[in-house]
Amino acid sequence: MKPSAKEEGYRFVCYLPDGAGAIFENIEECKLERFVKNKNHASWGFSFNKTDWEFAESATYANCPHCLNDVFKSDLAEYSYVCYVCNENFYDYEVYE
């Protein structure tokens, strides 16, 4: 049994659509990180809401122009960043660096 998100110093932020996982805040580092449902227990993670979560990626150092949360690298070729809280993609010049 993995330690809980709280024990590891994480706060739940939101679930993502299409099985992309969930966003948690690393409280000590004030940084958002994306986690996916743990399938093979290969990577570091924690348990939250009766599910094991595995670390996937950290946010960038840029911030969303709408909600000011950390944005992640976008999967879409035409965009640089994605805010998972707003579920919106952004160009380089739109985010706060």
What element of type H or E holds 1? none
**Interaction of residue 85 with Zn ion, rule CB under 5 A:** yes
Cβ at position 81, least distance to Zn ion in Å: 10
Selected binder of Zn ion within 47, 63, 86, 94 (CB under 5 A): 86
77 touches 34 (CB < 8 A): no
CB atoms within 10 A of CB 48: 19
Selected binder of Zn ion within 6, 41, 66, 73 (CB under 5 A): 66
Nearer residue to Zn ion within complex by CB, 5 or 32: 32
**Interaction of residue 62 with Zn ion, rule CB under 5 A:** no
Within 13 Å of residue 32, how many CA atoms lie on the same side as its CB? 25
**Alpha-carbon separation of residue 75 from 29, 32, 46 (angstroms):** 24, 17, 25
Nearer residue to Zn ion within complex by CB, 38 or 69: 69
Total residues contacting Zn ion by CB under 5 A comes to 6
Cβ at position 76, least distance to Zn ion in Å: 16
